[in-house]
């Protein structure tokens, strides 16, 4: 016990020390300039989406909202196999290539775009053969339902939109990114609720696709304007020498994502199949998960803004600054998430009751999800550090135990419905953040000596 206590004190000291050591003014300035203007815009975007999902839950009812949740999960899963790790690849390497020239940075983006175009074509070939099975066995809809076909367009548009938005962020063009977010917020509040109210589940899915289509046009125009302003050609051919970078970095990132979203979706399918309330439990969980986005708003924004800064600090060999910034951000994000979770927890019964009685009865499970949010807020900053320091395989290794915990909880406790999903997510988050901290502290001494 004495040995364990000494180790615990050393770890706490290492993590508490950065709270008293501010990062350099240059790093802080870059971070704030990238995140401050986008904060309000993304807050509007996330806030609009939270309003939309609560309204859709009320309009569609628990069962159809469960189908919408499974549809969104299917979009996320298929999107992983379309993007293939291109998003984090761009976040990691575009800031480094900018030190050579803007044209090299654009080549990284275009290489990722070529990958997405190729995988999108393969998806278009495969979907017609599987849409009937998806409609019947996954969504519990008639064989001829158009929703599986609509998913195809949703996935492709989302993949290209994510690429362009991450490219703008990696180029440290926060104002341009915020402009796109403002447009999306307005569209989400108007198009999706109206189409869902008028045409039900199919209308809600179509509304999301309309929003993604307009975002694709706006984001594309903004991106091309930014690239032209940098003096680069947006249509330059990718460089073949960058392909190994995509394979060595993008592959473990893809494998991590290929375990993460399918795990959550798979757990939902297990509960749908074995829980007494099936689709209702999935719908309740889906609403809670979407509301959780508000809790993670600050951490998601700051982490998106931090990744390009972290990557450039690592490229410049400033390891000490990178460690201080990462740990300080981790503590700050968890503190903000905890502060936001308190009023949400107090209002949990009221928030869920607006969607209907099936949602309101499960408000204790929402408290478990808020715990997941606080833990995840700090975990993502550590993930950024590990990615910036070329540790994607370590992140991949932490995903396997997390996946086993979440799926096991869904299977063993499926009779408890939404509580099996929320409880599994909480235990899995605790286990994974522990592994992140262990890996992070193990890298401190070598990194310091190298610096």
Identify which of 234, 122, 129, 229 has the alpha carbon closest to the alpha carbon of residue 176: 229
The answer to the question of residue 332 being in a domain is yes
pLDDT given for residue 209 in this prediction:
93
Q: Is 83 exposed, middle or buried (0-12, 13-18, 19+ CB in 10 A)?
A: buried
Token pair recorded at residue 284: 């309740």
Backbone φ/ψ region at 375: left (φ over 0), alpha (ψ -120 to 50), beta:
alpha
The answer to the question of residue 17 being in a domain is no
- Cα dihedral 371, 376, 378, 379, rounded to 10, equals 140
Per-residue pLDDT of 91-124, as tens digits, reads: 777 877 877 788 888 888 888 888 899 999 998 8
Q: What is the DSSP string of 258-313?
A: HHHHHHHHHHHHHHHHHSTTTHHHHHHHHHHHHHHHHHTHHHHHHHHHHHHHHHHH
- What domain range includes position 98? 23-450
Most confident of 33-47, 201-215, 235-249: 201-215
Which residue carries 């969104």 as its tokens? Answer: 72
Per-residue pLDDT of 415-449, as tens digits, reads: 888 899 999 999 999 999 888 888 887 654 433 33
Cα–Cα distance, 366 to 372 (Å, whole number): 10
pLDDT given for residue 405 in this prediction:
94
Identify which of 10, 274, 283, 232 has the alpha carbon closest to the alpha carbon of residue 108: 232
Q: How confident is the model at residue 17 (pLDDT cuts 50, 70, 90)?
A: very low
| Mean pLDDT value of segment 178-202 | 82
Which residue carries 């949740």 as its tokens? Answer: 69
Q: Are 417 and 276 in contact (CB under 8 A)?
A: yes
Which residue carries 């999800």 as its tokens? Answer: 369
| Mean pLDDT value of segment 204-225 | 89
Per-residue pLDDT of 32-86, as tens digits, reads: 555 555 555 566 666 677 778 778 888 888 788 888 888 888 888 888 888 877 7
Identify which of 205, 95, 229 has the alpha carbon closest to the alpha carbon of residue 155: 205
Which residue did the predictor score with more confidence, 12 or 277?
277
DSSP-based three-state secondary structure for 429: helix
E strands of 80-144, at which residues?
none
The answer to the question of residue 287 being in a domain is yes
pLDDT given for residue 253 in this prediction:
72
Per-residue pLDDT of 279-325, as tens digits, reads: 888 888 888 887 777 667 666 666 666 776 777 777 777 777 778 88
| Number of domains, the chain | 1
Q: Are 310 and 450 in contact (CB under 8 A)?
A: no
The answer to the question of residue 146 being in a domain is yes
> C-alpha distances in angstroms, 217 versus 85, 115, 203, 368?
23, 20, 21, 39
Per-residue pLDDT of 335-349, as tens digits, reads: 888 888 888 888 888
pLDDT given for residue 63 in this prediction:
83
pLDDT given for residue 27 in this prediction:
54
Q: Chain-wide mean pLDDT for the chain?
A: 79
- Whole-number percent of the chain with pLDDT over 70: 82
Q: How confident is the model at residue 140 (pLDDT cuts 50, 70, 90)?
A: confident
The answer to the question of residue 11 being in a domain is no
CB atoms within 10 A of CB 199: 13
Q: How confident is the model at residue 210 (pLDDT cuts 50, 70, 90)?
A: very high
pLDDT given for residue 174 in this prediction:
64
Q: How confident is the model at residue 361 (pLDDT cuts 50, 70, 90)?
A: confident
The answer to the question of residue 308 being in a domain is yes
The answer to the question of residue 350 being in a domain is yes
Identify which of 388, 394, 399 has the alpha carbon closest to the alpha carbon of residue 447: 388
pLDDT given for residue 21 in this prediction:
46
The answer to the question of residue 207 being in a domain is yes
| Mean pLDDT value of segment 216-226 | 87
Per-residue pLDDT of 244-273, as tens digits, reads: 777 776 677 777 777 877 888 888 888 888
């Amino acid at each position: 016990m004495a040995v364990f206590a000494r180790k615990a004190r050393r770890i706490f000291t290492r993590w508490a020390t950065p709270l008293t050591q501010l990062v350099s003014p240059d790093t802080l300035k870059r971070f704030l300039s990238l995140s401050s203007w986008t904060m309000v815009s993304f807050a509007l975007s996330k806030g609009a989406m939270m309003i939309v999902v609560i309204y859709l839950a009320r309009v569609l009812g628990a069962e159809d909202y469960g189908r919408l949740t499974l549809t969104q999960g299917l979009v996320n899963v298929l999107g992983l196999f379309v993007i293939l790790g291109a998003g984090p690849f761009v976040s990691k390497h575009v800031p480094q290539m900018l030190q050579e020239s803007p044209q090299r940075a654009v080549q990284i983006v275009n290489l990722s775009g070529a990958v997405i175009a190729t995988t999108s074509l393969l998806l278009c070939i495969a979907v017609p053969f599987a849409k009937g099975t998806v409609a019947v066995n996954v969504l519990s809809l008639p064989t001829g339902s158009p929703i599986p076909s609509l998913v195809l367009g949703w996935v492709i548009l989302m993949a290209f939109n994510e690429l362009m938005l991450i490219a703008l962020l990696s180029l440290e063009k926060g104002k341009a990114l915020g402009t796109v977010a403002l447009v999306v917020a307005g569209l989400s509040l108007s198009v999706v609720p109206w189409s869902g109210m008028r045409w039900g589940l199919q209308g809600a899915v179509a509304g999301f696709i309309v929003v993604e289509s307009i975002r694709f046009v706006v984001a594309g125009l903004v991106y091309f304007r930014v690239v032209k302003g940098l003096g680069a050609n947006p249509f330059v051919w990718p460089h073949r020498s960058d392909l190994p970078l995509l394979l060595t970095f993008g592959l473990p990132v893809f494998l991590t994502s290929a375990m993460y979203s399918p795990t959550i979706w798979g757990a939902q399918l297990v509960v749908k199949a074995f829980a007494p309330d099936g689709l209702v439990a999935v719908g309740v969980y889906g609403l809670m998960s979407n509301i959780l986005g508000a809790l993670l708003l600050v951490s998601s924004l700051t982490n998106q803004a931090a990744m390009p800064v972290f990557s450039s600090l690592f490229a410049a060999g400033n390891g000490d600054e990178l460690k201080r910034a990462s740990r300080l951000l981790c503590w700050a994000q968890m503190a903000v998430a905890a502060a936001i979770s308190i009023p949400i927890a107090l209002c949990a019964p009221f928030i869920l009751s607006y969607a209907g009685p099936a949602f309101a009865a499960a408000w204790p499970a929402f408290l478990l999800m808020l715990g997941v949010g606080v833990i995840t807020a700090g975990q993502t900053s550590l993930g950024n550090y590990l990615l910036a320091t070329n540790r994607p395989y370590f992140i991949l290794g932490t995903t396997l135990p997390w996946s086993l915990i979440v799926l096991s909880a869904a299977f063993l406790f499926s009779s408890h419905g939404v509580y099996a999903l929320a409880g599994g997510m909480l235990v899995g988050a605790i286990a994974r953040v522990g592994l992140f901290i262990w890996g992070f502290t193990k890298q401190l001494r070598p990194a310091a000596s190298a610096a």
